[in-house]
Every structure is written in C-alpha cells, then in structure tokens.
Chains A and B, each alone.
Chain A
C-alpha cells in the first residue's frame, strides 16, 4: 500500500506542474491589461508603465512564471491587485467554508445514495426499486440553484427552521454552524446522491449475479452480509469512481450554492476575482481547486488498492 501511495504521488508531480502552467497562463489568456485597469481613468502611459514594472509584468513570461511558481511552492500566492491583501491568507480564510460545505455534502450524498442503490438492487423490480429510480431521476434533473431557492423558501422563509443564508464558523458555535450549512449541503448533495444511487444500483445488480454471491448464500451467510460484505465491496470500484468524479464536480457546484446562500467561501471569492480581474486571487483559487481535485484522485486510487487486491500488486 505504501508503495502504491509513493508511486501515485510521484506520478502526479508532472501533472501539478502542468496545472500551474495552465493557471499561470490565465494571465495571458484573459483580455485586458491589469496595469491599465489598475491605473484608473485617463492614465498617462508613464503611470501604466510604472504599475506594470512594480507588478513585474514587464519581465519575460518564463521569468514571471518561475518566480510565481517558486513563491507558490513556498505558499506565497502574491497580493490582491486591489486590496493588496495576501492571497494565501484570503484563501485560507475562505477555505474552511467551502471545505466543510463540500465534506458535508459528500457525506450526505454517500449516506443517502449508496444505501438507496443497494436497496434498489436488492429489491429489484419491486415498488421500492421504482420509487428510488424516480427519486434518482428527480435528483439528477433538478438544477441546484432551483433546489436551493426552493429549500430556502420552504425551510427558511416559511418553516423558519434554518437561516436563509450566511455562515458561522464551526469553531464559534457548532449548532449555528450546522444550521447554516444544512440547506446548502443538502442542495449540493442532491445530484451526487442521485448519481451514486444510480451507479450503486447498476454495479450491485451486476455483482449480485456473480457465482460467489451464490457461494456466500450456500455458506449460510445472512442476506445483509451477502449484500454488504460480498456484494457492495465488489461493486465499490465503479461507485468510488463516480464518487470521486462527483466530489470534484462539487467544487464547481459550491460556487453557485455559496452565491445562493451568501456563504463566504472559495466560490464567491473566485466570482469576485473574476469580476475584478484580480488575477493573483483567481490564480490562487484555481490552483487550490486543482490541487484538491488531484488529492481526490489520489485518494480514489488508494481506495481502489484497498478494495481490489489485484491493484495492490501493481
């Protein structure tokens, strides 16, 4: 297992470098000159040149990239063009909100989606199976922003159980935190839960036809143990794949959900940065998001190894 871990980490180094190159390339892809924008209305060419020089934008692209990369490795992602605030600090301030929201959403999706899929497969063709299939279709079809607004209307505005928006850090007040993240997490979890249920069901249906399931029943193993120990463990491969894919997509979904619920997370920071053409901030957020996706993929590979003894030998 340790060998697998080192192997996968070493393999991801070139990918990380490629990602940083892409992230830094944003500077040159986004139209407009940040120096000209910063200089305000009717600047003189000298003012623009001065700003460009002070930001280091006049140096060769390769030199700029390497300088940025070295800083990034040391955890320095530069300063915001507008507020001058440290980008690393800005991201760290916001990171917790998005991280908690995503983790909670993944948790909700797993706790609902996987058992629903197992249940549907075990009761194939029954009314339970059909009901779950309808729910899955709804979960996939309903857009997150609409679901979020509906949840706000029903549970915040009418029932008044949850706050309609805002955020309280978990370190301040756990109860308040939970109240604030519940609706956003449910909104974010709906689609991944549905996808998980769908794929768990189909993977389970395949596995339950296998000979070793019959062997397990022939041993007198209880049905729940047949489903979980012999069924789900062997169906887990495709389920993990879908889970990792959905977890990565969740980062994108959180941008919208954070807007709807007014949560100060990375998503709203990214939107603000795009509005302001605040490139260092945008680069920082994109880099962090890319790294998170990479880590998710790394964990996925490790999970494959854990579940499938044949992968471990590689």
Chain B
C-alpha cells in the first residue's frame, strides 16, 4: 500500500487555520530588453485541505506564471521570482534547489495542464508514465508501481484500466488523456493539485465530466486544489474561494458565493456581466471596454482605471492598496463601497 509517510506522522491539521499551500507577496519578473520587469506582483493567496481556490483572469493576467512559479517550473532564463514566499505545508519553496523541488513535485504537489493532447509523452506508454512518477517518489518495485498505475487509472474512471495501462497516449481520446494526466498527478497522493485550465481544450460534455472528477477527487482525497481558469462559469461550478487576477495582481479575493453575489472590484463585475447564462437575453453580452495594458508596462495608479466605468481622479494617481472587505475578502480598489452588480 502506498501512503504518504510524512502525512501519517503529522497530527491532523486544523483545517480552518492551517493552509496547505500559502503564497505571500509573490513577484515574478521577466526580462524585457535585458531589464527585469514584473509580470506577477505582490500576489498572496492560500489553499486549505479539501478547498478549491480559483485563480481567475484573462490571458496574460499572470495566472499561469503564478502557478508555474509555485511549481518551480519557471524557465531559468525567461522568468524569475523576484521576492515573496511560497510555502507547502510550512516548507519554503522559493530558493529551493532543483533536487529539493524534484522531491516535492509529483509527490506532495502536482500539476495538470491545459493541453491533454500534448502534455503526455507520445513515445511512452500511459502506464509507464505513471510508474515513473511513483517510482521516483516511492521505494517500490516495478510490479507494485504498475499496480498503483492501474489503481489510479481506475480511480479516475479510465475503463478497463488494467489493459489501458499498456496504451500509448495517441490511443486515448482528449478526455481520456486528461483523466490519465489526473491519474498521473494523483499517483503519489499529493497534498496540493494545481489545475491550469484543465478543461479549456475539451468538449463541453467532457468538461463537465472532468470537473466532476476533480471535485470528487478533491473531496475523497482531501486535496487542496488550485484551479486556474478564465471562465467564471467554471469558477461557479467548482471553486470555494476566488482570487481574481488583473495585470499580474490579485484585484479581488473572496468566498465564491460572496464574490458572485456582491463583487467588490469593478473588474470582477465586468467579468460577471460578460458571463453567458442560459436565460436568453436580447442583444450581445456586455464587454469590458478597452484592452488590458501590456503585461510589462506599469501604469501609474490603478491598472484597471483606463477601462473602469467608476474611475475618479484619484484612481490614476497612486496604485491602490488592498482593502479588506468583510471577513476574508480583499479588493484592490480605492472605492470598495461601490454598489456593484453581481451575477443574476
């Protein structure tokens, strides 16, 4: 039986107080014309056991950069963590060496990606790829690792898993590949799973199945799930808490229910209003006017102010700090009391 040894020894965590993954004040920089410029700035969030945190934002908002930074997967020459802290059950990951990261990745923290079609090694059997992860982190025989591979494939709902372990990725459909990716990520029973737009490349019906599966795995295995998406619909479906990212910063963070009911940041309101619903409405979906600034440009004042319908003169003068809204929520808006409209 494969269990996470360290987890057994630790006393049961206080689920309401101890986050499994805690990111604090994270700033990631990329080189632009040989000068390092921030693309992720002062991002803080935490995820508890059995909880799903949604990281929402449009393309280029820095959500994938943030997740890659957490996994230690930023490529050395094209991005760096300038400062901040990433702690996995108390263990600091910023500044950890490759060897230390390799011990944690795939074991305590795992990740699945947007493109199931290209995220599996095409020249390696599905089972082999899972066996590789298991044997990297557990001192078990090949046969035992294979049994584990069949077990997790079965767990994620791959039919006749015992024979499909011998298939190659090209013999799997897109949805099945994403299930195989999930199986691979869960093979060592991680504490944290990062899902980077795991349903974006899939058909709508398959999307729903994969979301169901992730929800089920989170509840059964007590995963802390960091779910990255651009879709408010997916957020509504799976997330307990939401961090909305704009231009490399978290602009609002709140419990999902609160956020949908009463957004505190004009950008969140815009995202909610742009959400298609099943109720047929006249005309087109409302858009957020304008475009986000280039990721590496630093506007003075609030980064969203050029597109914000509630802009006042003060908005363009100083970058807004985070304002607390209620128990757990924060908004990066100097007008946190605005009567913004939630999802209907």
Contact = CB atoms under 8 A, between A and B. Distances in A.
A255 B185 CA distance: 55
Interface in A198-254: 210-212, 214-223, 229-230, 233-234
Contact of A218 (B103, B105, B123): B105
A221 B184 CA distance: 13
Per DSSP, chain B at the interface is mixed
A220 B133 contact: yes
A304 to B, nearest CB: 11
Contacts of B102: 220-222
Given A214-B73, A215-B181, A220 B136 contact: yes
Contacts of B77: 125
B111 interface: yes
Contact of A212 (B73, B98, B111, B119): B119
A211 B113 CA distance: 8
Nearest to A208: B75
B132 A221 contact: yes
Given A219-B133, A220-B137, A212 B105 contact: no
Contacts of A234: 121-123
B113 A214 contact: yes
A308 interface: yes
A186 to B, nearest CB: 33
Interface size class on chain A is 20 to 34
B118 A221 contact: no
A307 interface: yes
Given A214-B73, A214-B113, A223-B98, A309 B168 contact: yes
Contacts of A74: none
Contacts of B137: 220
B104 interface: yes
Nearest to B98: A223
Given A218-B105, A218-B111, A309 B170 contact: yes
Contacts of B106: 218-221
A219 B123 contact: no
Given A214-B113, A233-B123, 11 more contacts: A212-B122, A214-B119, A215-B120, A216-B132, A220-B101, A220-B102, A220-B137, A221-B102, A221-B136, A222-B136, A307-B123
CB-CB nearest 3 A-B residue pairs = A220-B106, A219-B106, A220-B105
22 contacts: A212-B118, A214-B113, A214-B119, A215-B113, A215-B184, A216-B121, A217-B73, A217-B105, A218-B73, A218-B105, A219-B136, A220-B103, A220-B104, A222-B102, A230-B121, A233-B123, A233-B124, A234-B121, A234-B122, A308-B123, A309-B122, A309-B123
Interface of A: 125, 210-212, 214-223, 229-230, 233-234, 307-310
